Amino acid sequence: MSVRVITHPSSLDHDTGRGHPESPARITAIVEELRSNKYAGVVSWSEARPAVADELERVHPREYLERLEAMAKRGGGMVDGDTFLSAASFEAARHAAGAAVETALSACEGEACFAVIRPPGHHATAETAMGFCLINNVVVAARSALEDGGAGRVLIVDWDVHHGNGTQDLVDRDSRIRYVSLHQWPLYPGTGRADERGVGNVFNVPRAPGLPRETYVADLNEAVSRATDGWMPDLLLISAGFDAMAGDPLAGFTLEPEDYATWVREWRQIGCRMGAVLEGGYAPDRIRLAAGETVCALAG
């Protein structure tokens, strides 16, 4: 089975400023890797469409989206201490969310997909952009799967090294969605305690930096097993941040690229559809390898 990689040129136009870790180089590195001969016959390519208002407004109020759009039209600016909009950022965010929606809907039909886009999304709450994130792509995708894709249950697994506070906040009262997150603790944004359970649909795995990589792999697998015990999802969406690898400049986990493939192969045994949406990861030469491992595992 091939994997459809969904991306859009606007991901390169989102300008966070010189020296910012969330840069276009992240997309360039992954696309270069996946276009290499190594993945011939494994990867097919698709250009993302922008998410439409109905899709976005299942997650974010219209007034919030209008504020982001207006700020971009004025040329952009600083949203918080590390989150920026440029003139092109709102269109990039709409296409990023659209790629995530297409990933979810196509996965519901049996096609493995990976949305290679930016800005990332898992820190964005309903009305607040933060942590490099403007629109919560994976929750927009999950809601589309539930409303338009025929899914009754969606499992979101977030392996980004930072806790997806926005994702948890948006889904922790929705019993149709379960959220599993492995993340470094303590670390930005300071959320994600193990005792945060939502309506029984949140499974947080906070861990210290510097542990053996096998520990992180086993602990996330155990949490996914608990989340799916007696609860079979129709779709598994991965919030695929690659900043938990050794060498990432913003964190201290010790994963290697092949660990992501280990997880995907394990979760394929659940028997549900799967797709992935890019989140963080700030060492381009490393994240390209992890993305390649992820795609090969999704392809089976």
Contact present, 121 and 100 (Cβ < 8 Å) = yes
pLDDT above 90: residue 55: yes
267 has a pLDDT exceeding 90:
yes
Please list, in sequence order, all residues whose beta carbon lies within 8 angstroms of the beta carbon of residue 141, skipping any fewer than 6 positions away.
97, 100, 101, 103, 104, 115, 237, 275, 277
122-154 tens-digit pLDDT: 999 999 999 999 999 999 999 999 999 999 999
Quick: pLDDT tens for 99-122.
999 999 999 999 999 999 999 999
pLDDT in tens, 274-291: 999 999 999 999 999 999
Taking residues 161-167, report their average pLDDT: 98
pLDDT at 191: 98
First to last CA, the chain: 7
Tokens of 188: 């930005």
Topology classification of domain 3-299: Arginase; Chain A (3.40.800)
In the chain, domain spans:
3-299
Global pTM reads 0.98
Helix H, strand E, coil C: the string for the chain is: CCEEEEECCHHHHCCCCCCCCCCCHHHHHHHHHHCCHHHCCCEEEEECCCCCHHHHCCCCCHHHHHHHHHHHHCCEEEEECCEEEECCHHHHHHHHHHHHHHHHHHHHCCCCEEECCCCCCCCCCCCCCECCECCCHHHHHHHHHHHHCCCCCEEEEECCCCCCHHHHHHHCCCCCEEEEEEEECCCCCCCCCCCCCCCCCEEEEEECCCCCHHHHHHHHHHHHHHHCCCCCCCEEEEEECCCCECCCCCCCCCECHHHHHHHHHHHHCCCCEEEEEECCCCCHHHHHHHHHHHHHHHHC
Average pLDDT of the chain is: 98
Quick one: what percent of the chain has pLDDT higher than 70?
A: 100
* Token pair belonging to 15: 């300008």
Say what the pLDDT of residue 212 is: 98
What mean pLDDT comes out for the span 183-205?
A: 98
pLDDT value, residue 144: 98
**Catalytic annotation, residues:** 123
72 pLDDT tier (thresholds 50, 70, 90): very high
pLDDT of residue 13: 98
Phi-psi region of 75 (alpha: psi -120 to 50; beta: other; left: phi over 0): left
pLDDT score, position 183: 99
Q: How many CB atoms lie within 10 A of CB 272?
A: 18
Rounded CA-CA distance 285/273 in Å is: 29
Supply the pLDDT for residue 1: 81
What pLDDT band is residue 298 in, cutting at 50, 70 and 90?
Answer: very high
Nearest to 151, CA basis, from 274, 238, 269, 267: 274
Q: Can you tell me which residue has the tokens 């899709």?
A: 55
Contact 284, 25 (CB under 8 A): yes
